[in-house]
Homo-oligomer: A and B are copies of this chain.
């Protein structure tokens, strides 16, 4: 035990060192957005400040799609669903007869985009049910290790936002407990986000499906069933935050109307609060879209940001690097 504690001390000393050696948020240009983030963090962490927040209450919640990684031209989980449905199809000859499944099996992205939400739900459930939690986590890990984005040719996990990785580090170094709160399947994100972003599984909240504890001959397993129990989007975000965390965050980060209620919930608490929206404005390095986009529509939340004083990050002008692979070698 002594060793572990001494090691923890050494790690902390290292953190202190790192925190003061490096300028925070190097991939952020010196614009108002960066300054507003730093001012907020300094105020809530400064002992004796009227805005001081104890460490236990420094909860920050992050959306994923469009906030921590790209989401165009289709949510990345949808690419997984395409690959997974195609891989499982030989065991399900009946799928060919269903239009939703046929769209996926024909790799018809347009037909997929036109599907109703219940039809998409059926595909999501087919992609992640009928297996144990451990089998599914392995399937996701195998996919993220090899699957590549059709336009950039990059692994999906390379298409994360370098400035947001730095923001996560900066908040954690200042005592924040950071959570992912995503509309995507919790089962789909948990297996890889610890390595990529540093969120341990217990700090990852997503839409999730019913499960069943089953005692098998060689021990118990948890089976994933084809039914949603929790949808973590729109009003579902504050609801899930209350269910899992039980504290209102003091800072929330999103990019679309699906994050509106999370930011409303966060910023309407007492004391200093931070709301931030990532606005996709860079058609060259990433994508540019907002009010009329089918993916990551940012309309009502953009108006709310102006009314409420939330930070709106202009990706083109606020970020000198978007994806880590743009860094000079």
Please list the residues of chain A having a beta carbon within 8 angstroms of any beta carbon in chain B.
1-9, 12-13, 15-16, 19-20, 41-42, 45-47, 55-56, 59, 133, 173-175, 177, 186, 190, 200-202, 204, 208, 211-213, 215, 219-220, 222, 229-230, 235, 238-239, 242-247, 261, 264-265, 268
Contacts and interface: CB of A to CB of B under 8 A. Distances in A.
Contact of A202 (B4, B212, B245): B245
B1 A246 contact: no
A323 to B, nearest CB: 27
A132 to B, nearest CB: 10
Contact of A5 (B4, B19, B133, B261): B19
Given A1-B42, A2-B20, A242-B133, A200 B56 contact: yes
A1 B45 contact: yes
Contacts of A47: 3-4, 7
B201 A45 contact: no
A53 to B, nearest CB: 11
Contact of A12 (B9, B20, B230, B235): B9
26 contacts: A1-B19, A1-B173, A1-B174, A2-B19, A4-B45, A5-B15, A5-B16, A6-B16, A8-B12, A8-B175, A56-B200, A59-B202, A133-B242, A186-B246, A201-B247, A208-B243, A212-B235, A213-B265, A215-B264, A219-B264, A219-B268, A220-B238, A222-B238, A222-B239, A229-B229, A229-B230
Contacts of A264: 215, 219-220
Given A2-B16, A5-B15, A202 B265 contact: no
A130 to B, nearest CB: 16
Contacts of A175: 4, 8
Contact of A9 (B4, B9, B213, B268): B9
A238 B261 contact: no
A213 B200 contact: no
List 8 tightest A-B contacts by C-beta distance, closest first. Answer: A201-B246, A213-B235, A219-B268, A202-B245, A5-B16, A213-B238, A3-B47, A190-B246
Given A200-B56, A235-B213, A247-B202, A242 B222 contact: yes
